[in-house]
Chain A
């Protein structure tokens, strides 16, 4: 079936605006992850959802970042009052369950002017 999809592929916004990034995981995958990758850097874990359990938010860099996952499927990452340092590629991944192989989406490139 289809892989992980993310939208939009690119987002340019002005400092102070809110943005929403969407992730559609692979059907049947119960685990969903959000990562951030700054230019030339590694992956920074943001948040993790597993089934109906409370998400692991330990990686969120500030309270401006939040995420939800509705119906155990689609997830939305919201960044409020964006700052220039939020500019990065935001990657979503899903896996069948915890510790299983993660399959990544193409990412959303966020640019905050």
Chain B
């Protein structure tokens, strides 16, 4: 069975600070996919990134970066120079490429960026 843990329930930072959201996953499959989604106060989930298990290269997109480490089963998300608009709940998710497997979402981390 798959599992995703986001140990940080809530994080508060002051604008312009860097912040890292942790995600630890569990799966016995060798082929799997990891995702991050953002849920702003408006409620609609927004896709941020998808990473497959064979690609451990870290990714940077503007102020966002992701650190995928299979050795520690982690897929952490860093926001550099945070802004108030980054305030949201962030979900990490995992799925494996087998029929009938559903996405497993972590419980989410609520990020508050204070001005």
Provide the main secondary structure of the chain B interface: loop
Total interface residues in chain B, CB < 8 Å:
24
A76-B108 Cα distance, complex, nearest whole Å = 27
Q: Decide if B106 touches A42 in the complex (CB within 8 Å).
A: yes
Nearest-neighbour CB distance to chain B for A10, whole angstroms, equals 12
Q: How large is the interface on A (under 10, 10 to 19, 20 to 34, 35 or more residues)?
A: 20 to 34
Measured CB to CB, the nearest residue on chain A to B104 is A45
Across the two chains, which residue of chain B brings its CB closest to A47? B102
A42 pairs with B99, CB closer than 8 A: no
Chain B contacts with A in 44-72, Cβ cutoff 8 A: 44-47, 50
Give Cα distance in the complex from A88 to B114, angstroms: 28
A78 interface residue per 8 A CB criterion? no
Q: Which residues of B contact A (CB under 8 A)?
A: 33, 35, 37, 43-47, 50, 91, 95-108
Q: Which of A's residues lie within 8 Å of B, judged by CB?
A: 33, 35, 41-43, 45, 48, 50, 53, 56, 58-59, 89, 91, 93, 98-99, 101-107
- 4 extra interface residue pairs, beta carbon distance < 8 Å, beyond A104-B45, A105-B44: A48-B102, A50-B99, A91-B45, A104-B44
